[in-house]
Amino acid sequence: MGWWGEGHQKILGGRDLIAGGTWMACTRDGRLAFLTNVLEPEPIPEAKTRGDLPVRFLESTKSPMEFAEEIIKEADDYNGFNLIIADLCLKIMIYISNRPKIAPITVQIVSPGLHVLTNAQLDTPWPKAQRLGKIFMEFLRQHEEEEVYEKEMVETMMKDTVRAELDRLPKTGCDVEWEQKLSSIFIDVKTKMGTYGTRSTSILSVKTTGQVSFYESYLEDKQWKEHAMCYKLRY
């Protein structure tokens, strides 16, 4: 995680060093974008890289809704994605998804409150989403009058390894046994080819003062490390 990009609009976040995209990033001007892939059994081999979508928004001067209208026209060029884009200064957040294929492209304003996004559509009641929502609300209740630290949030919420019962698993087309292994918030699965699971967790928080904190916990050389950066919104 770090600052990257050219010109005036520098971007803060992780970056795919091969394709150049990102899954979660922000700018000093209050633009924010993050992305999840939609699980599907037969992805399009020649599809455009989804990691470009957040970068394009962050580098753009278009409003979130204007950018969403642009993406609608080319959404079929990508494998399944969920994209959240926001302008923190304008206080508007938009959700875009190109799945399921048989439905129109989803574009909706994200209302204030608690929302959870997994590899399905926004607020789909997958067991891990429901569990994370409950843990988050309980965390806020316990720290109602205290300052919350991002590292504590990661340790409390994002390291949870509880898996869902078989009868509560979502039907994504994956093998049931594999689906259950992916049903925890934090994934750590041993396979014949090595360990498959969570490699990084990021938290971005914004105070009413405009102070932004971006914290990341990540796995490198089999060791968990952390990195944090702060900046002030440029209104």
Give tens-digit pLDDT for 119-143: 999 999 999 999 999 999 999 999 9
pLDDT confidence band for 7 (50 / 70 / 90): low
Examine residue 155 and state whether it is found in any structural domain, yes or no.
no
Radius of gyration of the chain (CA): 18
pTM: 0.92
Tell whether 42 is covered by a domain: yes
Does residue 102 carry a pLDDT above 80?
Answer: no
pLDDT category of residue 178 using cuts at 50, 70 and 90? very high
- Looking at the domain assignment, is residue 168 inside a domain? no
Per the structure, how many domains does the chain have? 1
| Domain annotation covers residue 51 | yes
- CB under 8 Å to 191, separation ≥6 — which residues? none
The answer as to whether 74 is a domain residue is yes
Mean pLDDT of 32-50: 91
| pLDDT-based confidence at residue 202 (cuts at 50, 70, 90) | very high
pLDDT tier at 189, thresholds 50, 70, 90? very high
Q: Rounded to whole angstroms, how far apart are CA atoms 202 and 158? A: 9
Q: Where are the alpha helices (DSSP H) in the chain?
A: 52-59, 64-72, 127-142, 150-153, 176-181
- For residue 44, pLDDT beyond 90: no
List C-alpha distances in Å: 208 to 39, 212, 225, 232.
36, 9, 29, 11
Q: Let me know: does 91 contact 30? Beta carbons within 8 Å.
A: no
Q: Which pLDDT does position 39 carry in this prediction?
A: 81
Average pLDDT, the chain: 93
55 and 21 Cβ atoms separated by less than 8 Å = yes
SS3 percent helix, strand, coil of the chain, rounded to 5, is: 25, 30, 45
Residue among 176, 182, 191 at smallest CA distance from 161: 182
Residue 133 corresponds to which amino acid?
G
> Would you say residue 98 has pLDDT above 70?
yes
* Structural domain includes residue 57: yes
Q: Which domain does 103 fall in, by range? A: 1-113
pLDDT score for 8: 63
More confidently predicted of 5 and 209: 209
Is beta strand 200-206 parallel, antiparallel or unpaired with respect to 223-232? unpaired
- The pLDDT, as a whole number, for residue 17 is 78
Please check whether residue 52 lies inside any domain of the structure: yes
Q: How far is 1 from 194, CA to CA, in rounded Å?
A: 25
Mean pLDDT of 68-91: 95
Residues facing residue 191 across a β-bridge: 194
**Residue 81, in any domain of the structure:** yes
